């Protein structure tokens, strides 16, 4: 099966914000739809290689530039919600899911979130996951109750009028890898992938989160990755967790991700966890990305049988 290519499209959100999203179509029969939710300070265009692997299996891929990111930032402003707050991200996931369902009715739908997108995808599955065939999380934050303190500080700064101030939050993740070649060595062991991220005008320092945005997504993370949060997930939802052992986002040796796996299993869900030795944050862009992609494809095939 070959890919017909990527097309960029517009979707108007309920609050009037113009959302930009990409769709990758396979040729021939459509077996399922996969909706990708990207991470902080990046955009949907970075998922073309993954989309190629998925469309080769007959899967349609949808991926939105989240509010404050990519082309959607033209409507909201960089690192800003452009609406009522963090819940608009979950609303937007539901809106794009509806597009996928309208265009490809009757086929399974899978939600795949990376990093910050794992927070949004988990929250979306908790609120609207009744029709999902699976939930896959790459580079997830996991269970991170220590973020509660950060949320309080960020909310206080926002209340004091600093909500629109850009944060330099991502560079702190580089500390375990210092001295480092770039401020973003924590993303991948592959220098070419790191350099592509640094050079991308819609990534990193050029697309920072604001104080209010970070307060919203960190607060959403604490709520979603809790016993109360996962209790709202459908009782038979299969979950895949893909994490790097040296990813600073997921805790030491992916401890926060393992804690999320335990929480989901306690909920009674079928969970598959892969922690890749020495891998960093973007496991789908890591030196062992073929292994990671193969694990994702195998899990998806099991969902579609």
State residue 5's pLDDT score: 66
Sheet holding 109-114, edge to edge: 3-12, 18-26, 59-64, 32-37, 109-114, 132-138, 239-244, 271-276
- Measured CA to CA, the distance from residue 92 to residue 99 in angstroms comes to 11
Average pLDDT over residues 160-171: 93
Distance CA 50, CA 80 (A): 27
Band (pLDDT 50/70/90 cuts) for residue 2 is: very low
Count of positions (residues) in the chain: 305
pLDDT in tens, 58-117: 999 999 999 999 999 999 999 999 988 999 999 999 999 999 999 999 999 999 999 999
What does the alpha-carbon distance between residue 294 and residue 104 come to, in Å, rounded to a whole number?
25
User: How distant, in Å, are the alpha carbons of 119, 194, 216 from that of 153?
Assistant: 20, 30, 12
Q: Is the pLDDT of residue 268 over 70?
A: yes
Location of structure tokens 């909706």? 35
Residue 242 DSSP code: E
The answer, yes or no, to whether residue 4 has pLDDT greater than 60, is: no
Phi and psi (nearest 5°) for 154?
A: -65, -40
Question: What pTM value is reported for the model?
Answer: 0.97
What ranges in 20-86 are assigned the alpha helix state H? Answer: 48-55, 73-76
The superfamily CATH assigns to domain 3-144+225-304 is Alpha/Beta hydrolase fold, catalytic domain (3.40.50.1820)
d(CA 124, CA 201): 28
Mean pLDDT confidence for 138-156: 96
**Among 213, 209, 260, residue whose Cα is nearest residue 87:** 213
Torsion of CA 53, 300, 269, 102, to 10 degrees: 90
Residue 192: exposure state from Cβ atoms within 10 A (0-12, 13-18, ≥19): exposed
Q: Return the residue matching tokens 């190629």.
A: 52
Residue 301 sits at the vertex; the CA angle it makes with 296 and 303, to the nearest 5 degrees, is 100
178-218 pLDDT per residue, tens: 999 999 999 999 999 999 999 999 999 999 999 999 999 99
Across the range 9-24, mean pLDDT stands at 96
Q: Pairing mode, if any, of strands 132-138 and 109-114?
A: parallel
HSE-CB for 143 with a 13 A CA cutoff: 14
Contact (CB, 8 A) for 40 and 67? no
Strands 18-26 and 3-12: antiparallel
Percent of the chain predicted with pLDDT > 90: 96
Name residues whose C-beta falls within 8 Å of residue 178's C-beta, 6 or more positions apart in sequence. none
Instruction: Spell out the alpha helix ranges (H) of the chain.
Output: 48-55, 73-76, 87-103, 116-128, 147-157, 191-199, 211-224, 227-230, 255-266, 289-304
């Amino acid at each position: 099966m070959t890919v017909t290519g990527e097309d960029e499209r517009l979707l108007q959100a309920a609050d009037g914000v113009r959302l930009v999203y990409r769709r990758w179509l396979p040729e021939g029969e459509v077996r399922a739809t996969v909706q990708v939710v990207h991470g902080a300070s990046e955009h949907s265009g970075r998922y073309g290689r993954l989309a190629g692997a998925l469309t080769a299996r007959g899967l349609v891929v949808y991926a939105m530039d989240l509010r404050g990111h990519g082309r959607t930032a033209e409507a909201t402003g960089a690192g800003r919600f452009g609406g009522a707050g963090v819940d608009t991200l979950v609303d937007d996931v539901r809106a794009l899911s509806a597009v996928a369902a309208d265009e490809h009715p009757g086929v399974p739908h899978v939600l795949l979130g990376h990093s910050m997108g794992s927070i949004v995808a988990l929250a979306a599955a908790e609120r609207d996951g009744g029709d999902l065939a699976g939930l896959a999380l790459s580079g997830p934050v996991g269970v991170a109750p220590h973020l509660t303190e950060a949320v309080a500080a960020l909310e206080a700064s926002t209340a004091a009028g600093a909500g629109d101030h850009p944060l330099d939050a991502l560079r702190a993740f580089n500390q375990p890898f210092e001295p480092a070649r770039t401020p973003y060595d924590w993303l991948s062991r592959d220098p070419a992938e790191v350099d592509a991220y640094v050079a991308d005008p819609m990534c990193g320092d050029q697309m920072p989160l604001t104080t209010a945005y970070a307060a919203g997504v960190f607060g959403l993370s604490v709520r979603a990755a809790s016993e109360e949060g996962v209790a709202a997930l459908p009782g038979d939802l299969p979950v895949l967790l893909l994490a790097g052992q040296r990813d600073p986002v997921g805790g030491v040796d992916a401890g926060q991700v393992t804690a999320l796996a335990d929480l989901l299993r306690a909920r009674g869900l079928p969970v598959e966890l892969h922690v890749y030795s020495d891998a960093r944050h973007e496991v789908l862009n890591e030196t062992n990305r073929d292994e990671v992609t193969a694990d994702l494809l195998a899990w998806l095939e099991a969902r579609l049988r």
